[in-house]
Amino acid sequence: DAMVIQNPRYQVTQFGKPVTLSCSQTLNHNVMYWYQQKSSQAPKLLFHYYDKDFNNEADTPDNFQSRRPNTSFCFLDIRSPGLGDAAMYLCATSLYPGNQPQHFGDGTRLSIL
C-alpha cells in the first residue's frame, strides 16, 4: 500500500547533539509537511515543502530545519536539541496544497537526554 513512512519510530539523542528525522512517501505527493506534537497536545505545523519550495511557519524556532532532496524524501534536522524539543514529530503529505486530505505517518518520538 502507498504510504508515509517515518524512521525510526523512536529516537533518543543528547542535549545539544544534532539529530535528523526522516520521512519517505510512496504516494508521489507534491506537498510534504512536518508537525510537532508534544505530550497531550495537538499537532502543530513546523513547515512544509510544496515541490522544492520551502514554507516555514512564523513561530518555528531557527533550531529546526528541513531538507527535501527529492519528491519521495523529506528530513527534519534539529541542530541543537533542547529538553523542550522532546515530542512526537509527524510527517504528512498531500497531493496539492489547500483542501486536500493530508496523509500522516505514524511519527517519530524524540527523547532528549
For the segment 1-20, give every residue that binds other proteins (CB under 8 A): 4
Residue 51 in the binding site for other proteins (CB under 8 A): no
Q: β-strands 44-50, 19-25: how paired?
A: unpaired
Closest of 112, 94, 20, 107 to residue 55, by C-alpha: 94
Residue 45 in the binding site for other proteins (CB under 8 A): yes
**Segment near other proteins (CB under 8 A); pick from 11-19, 64-72, 77-85, 98-106:** 98-106
Residue 48 in the binding site for other proteins (CB under 8 A): yes
Between 50 and 73, whose beta carbon lies closer to other proteins?
Answer: 50
Nearest distance, CB of residue 85 and other proteins, angstroms = 19
User: What are residue 43's DSSP bridge partners?
Assistant: none
Residue 77 in the binding site for other proteins (CB under 8 A): no
Q: β-strands 108-112, 53-56: how paired?
A: unpaired
Q: What would you report as the CA-atom Rg of the chain, rounded to the nearest whole angstrom?
A: 13
How many C-beta atoms surround the C-beta of residue 90 within 10 A?
Answer: 25
Q: Total number of residues binding other proteins (CB under 8 A)?
A: 25
